Structure 1
């Protein structure tokens, strides 16, 4: 309704202006036609005077339509049409002038008057005029036609606009109605998409794309909560079982063993909760990259430090580590290297190699290779998903919580880098590599 009303107001203003212009143009056209007729009449009278110099009684076809008056050089009326006989001289301007004036003694309508001079000697001025009744009638008829036609035309236009806008907005209403009915459990539903490439069609496709993302996020969130609950349930159950066993006995050695087991499960649960909080904080930023400290970090020092940290019977070599300096948060980058190293140790048969190199294209690449089974190409994206495990049946002690690599991807992305997995050319297992911008470039 608002769109139709606004359109009608604009159209009404435009049509009113057009009507006024039309009336003005029509009047000018009629006046020019009358001026031409009056000029021809003065020429006829002037020709008559030039031929014999005599004045016969001047007349017009209709005494109420016009008049003729001849004035000598002294300003005396020497001849006139019968309808203005004995009338004083008409003062209407110089030669060739056209004037609109009134003659109440003849008619209440305006008269158009033209003045011309003869070429004879003595010279006379000829004044002819005609009333504008026909012009006024034409203008009045046109105004009445416009007064009747414009409202009807506006009604027709209003109806057309109402239909066109209603048809154009009908898909919007369908989209609005569908979106209004979509609840939290109905994210699988989609709004109807009109088969057009206009703004409404693009709106519908954008809405459906948004619903796709919401459904994907909802499924991912539900899966995340389910996996987190599953991961937390196991240490909680272990802790409960150990405590129940401890309550039934009074052996100090047994109690110490139980305490050690409970502490181990508690640490496992603590690490899991910390990982969940880290991911939740990143998710809570609505797609914005969290702020990262821009400190100078020696990636080779972090690699050496993490290699010394681990306690394992597997061989960890750092012979491939060379100087590499990047900008970022040292704690977060240490977390990245630690997670990758722990992951490699979980799957290595006997050896893990760490290397850090600076490339000619301005990157520092840290790679961790193992001699395990490697990662198949079909699984190289899935392993970076949260709680992603290639072998769902393997032991928890070997598999961890499934959040380590997801955290690696997030932290490296925050630092403007990338993470890739491939086959280790030297050890035959998996190679995880992170690439960061060299701070020295």
Structure 2
């Protein structure tokens, strides 16, 4: 038996190109239409010609009957080989007289004047037949040859047989050329996109400036390349910043370890322990933040939504800040608000906002919660230096710090606010900065409310 693990992949069936498919469909549709039209035309022409022949034959029968009544049966004229007449006795049904073609032929019509529509005269061909029954004691039968009609129909059929494939061929060649020219810009775009490499995403597709589908395609491709370039630039900046951030605490740890090893008397055990713990916590926060953002980028940030009491989360953060004793913490404006969100992520977002405010506050941090515009609203105010209006969006970018007041020395990793926004957006909320009444910055976090009981 064949091991399924080593079964070769099914070979993909190669489809014909768009140019070939469009040409084939066009030729097929035109050919079908032409064949149906040719058959319809031929049948219509045949019906018309035979209708005219039948009318002419009937007129001959009437004319011969009138002549027989006026000048006698023996005075009927001789006719060409493409026509004939025959007189049949009404009582006996025998032939009284006939033109050269049918003089030796038995009666074509019966005594009631009923005759077949066509009669074959051997080598002379097939004739259309008409009988006139209102002529005294005889029945007058007239006939006209169908040879001319058959020759005409044969010529038309031959012409159509040649013309239909020829027209289909012309349509195919025209379609092939037209589609090729129409798809030439697409092939040019394909080659240009194929030439774009991961190391250089600055190249763009040539815009045909036609304003049609091709122009929109070129615009869309260029927009996509622009987004890829921006994403690559952000990724490289993220890697560079992350490397720098990771290097700083590691450098501090190595420096203290080298000094302690070389000069034990200069670094006490308590000082070394405190440094290791501080820098270890800094590394831990940095790595955790990077993991959260990486999961968010990969759409792998799992959200387990439950009902969360925001007031409990804010009271817990206020108690934590008071225990640190670095700033005055006011939670009097916290109102009972319940949201439907991931409890762990909500606590992380609120802690990041509170820690950010505590790092930059001079003396005071104010926490509050309320309902606004159908959303839960958490605000964290500080009396620090604030954030300039033109920088309030930029601080939500990764590894971004403002000058002096928001420096690395304050203990931040530059990821806190970026994580807050990612968590808010994943929950269908938002995060922004504004000016605080305390003179510093106000951070606002909006999350969806829990369904009413």
TM-score (norm 2): 0.88
Determine whether 1:42 maps to 2:61.
yes
Q: CA shift at 1:102, angstroms?
A: 2.0
Residue 88 of structure 2 is aligned to residue 71 of structure 1: yes
Matched residue, 1:256? 270
Residue 247, structure 1, aligned to residue 261, structure 2: yes
Q: Deviations over 1:368-391 (max 9, x none)?
A: 111222222211211111112222
Ranges in structure 1 where 5+ consecutive residues have no aligned partner: none
The answer to whether residue 104 in structure 2 is matched with residue 81 in structure 1 is no
* Match in the other structure for 1:138: 152
Q: What is the alpha-carbon distance in structure 2 between the residues aligned to residue 8 and residue 411 of structure 1?
A: 58
Taking a change above 3 Å as real, the CA distance of residues 273 and 95 of structure 1, as seen in their structure-2 partners, is farther
Of 248-257 and 429-438, more deviation after overlay is shown by 248-257
- Specify which of 125, 133, 139 is matched with residue 117 of structure 1: 133
Candidates 344, 348, 358, aligned match of 2:361: 348
In structure 1, distance between residues paired with 2:217 and 2:192: 13
CA 1:126 to 1:192, structure 2 compared with 1: closer, same or farther past 3 Å? farther
Partners of 1:292 and 1:11 in 2: CA distance: 58
Give CA deviations for 1:252-295 in whole Å, capped at 9, x if unaligned: 9623312321221121011101110111111112xxx8442221
Are residue 422 (structure 1) and residue 434 (structure 2) matched? yes
- CA distance in structure 2 between the partners assigned to 1:284 and 1:156 by the alignment: 54
Matched residue SS, 1:56:
helix
Q: Is 2:119 the partner of 1:106?
A: no
Unmatched 5+ residue regions in structure 2? 1-18
Matched, 1:331 2:344: yes
How large is the Cα RMSD of the aligned pairs?
A: 2.4
The structural deviation recorded for 1:197 is 4.2
Higher mean displacement: 139-148 or 402-411: 139-148
Please give the per-residue CA displacement for 1:197-237, whole angstroms capped at 9, x wherever unaligned: 44333332222221111111111111111111111111111
**What pairs with 1:186-197 in structure 2 (closer than 5 Å)?**
186-197=200-211
1:362 positional shift:
2.6
2:318 corresponding residue in structure 1: 307
| Bigger Cα displacement from structure 2, 245-254 vs 227-236 | 245-254
1:150 CA drift (Å): 3.2
- How far off its partner does 1:93 sit? 12
Aligned residue for 1:194, secondary structure, equals coil
Q: Conserved in 2, the CA contact under 8 Å of 1:272 and 1:401? A: yes
Deviation at 1:320, TM superposition (A): 0.4
